[in-house]
Copies of this chain bind each other. A is one copy, B any other.
Amino acid sequence: MSFVPPVGSYAVIFCSHRTEVDGGYGATAAHMVELASQQPGFLGVRSSRDAALGITVSYWESLEAIAAWRKNLEHREARNQGRAQWYRQYELQVVRVERAYAWQSMDGAADPAP
């Protein structure tokens, strides 16, 4: 933790509802994180999934870096599989970081917001 993306960098917010189908989902998801992290311009990723919803936020230096990752063939095939069997629905936003900060308990209880 304590990752603070630079102002002017970008993120992809991906919210998904899964189907009941497993079929290699976990292994593919882990492989995609590994592949993404080797891409030029990759800054970081955060992911959480509970029974209702999964949210993954990946952070990138530029829109060009996001576009290049979208073109990756393995990533494209994984997205196709996602729509064919793993996801019931999803929402995706590309966003620009306007402000960012992090807080840890050792920082004390004061509000860290600038």
Contacts and interface: CB of A to CB of B under 8 A. Distances in A.
Interface of A: 1-5, 10-11, 13, 15, 17, 19, 46-50, 52-55, 57, 63, 70, 76, 79-80, 83-84, 87-105, 108-111, 113
10 contacts: A11-B93, A48-B52, A70-B113, A83-B103, A84-B109, A87-B103, A87-B105, A92-B103, A94-B97, A95-B95
Nearest to A63: B98
A98 B13 CA distance: 11
Given A11-B95, A55-B57, A96-B98, A109 B89 contact: no
Nearest to A15: B46
Identical subunits present: 2
Nearest to A92: B101
Given A11-B13, A95-B97, 7 more contacts: A55-B57, A88-B105, A89-B102, A90-B102, A91-B100, A94-B100, A95-B96
